[in-house]
Amino acid sequence: MSSAFPEIYLVRHGETEWSLSGRHTGRSDIPLTANGEDAAGKLAERLAGHAFSAVWSSPSARARKTCVLAGFGPGAVIKEDLAEWDYGAYEGITTKAILAERPGWQLFRDGCPNGEFATDVGARADAIIHALRQAAGTILIFSSSHFLRVLAARWLGLPPEGGALLVLDTASISVLGYEHDLTEPVIRRWNQR
């Protein structure tokens, strides 16, 4: 289903060892696995035929490598606000390990010690949304799971914590857009693999 309005294509980076094992990967630059590189390369076929007015990427090596392998490296603009959630003291740790020390912890509700809270990530997402609406074109974005989940929640007008309701697999494609007019933001497609 195509739209007469601008669409925002969201691509989560390919698999890394940490995404595979469930370790929180915020600001650490963990490379793609061989499977991650293969899936990133296959994104080129999946995105073929779409015209993008701009390509934006998170500064992380995993997002930038996914962008390059998908065939969109030349001309991609690095946007610092697209960086993954800063997990602070929980960087490199699994949710299971965190829960063993802090029962009941939830990332979107409780945030991370010495890192970001949902409101911090939401403020960065809001800045990206403002730039997207100013650009008024179909834009391709490469970033990471938790940031993209917050971005989608904010696109819909939900609080940043609303991102907890959305899940993204590695090398997935999602599309944000509009329904009847530019005052009705919607999710057009989600987590396509």
Positions annotated as catalytic residues are: 13, 84
For residues 52 and 68, give the distance between their C-alpha atoms in angstroms, rounded to a whole number.
Answer: 15
Strand partners, 178: 185
Q: At what angle do helices 34-47 and 61-69 cross, to 10 degrees?
A: 50
- In degrees and rounded to multiples of 5, residue 175 shows phi and psi of -135, 125
Tell me the Ramachandran region of residue 192: left when phi exceeds 0, alpha when psi lies from -120 to 50, beta otherwise: beta
Are 18 and 192 spatial neighbours (Cβ–Cβ below 8 Å)? Answer: no
Q: Determine the Cα angle at 35 with ends 29 and 37, to 5°.
A: 60
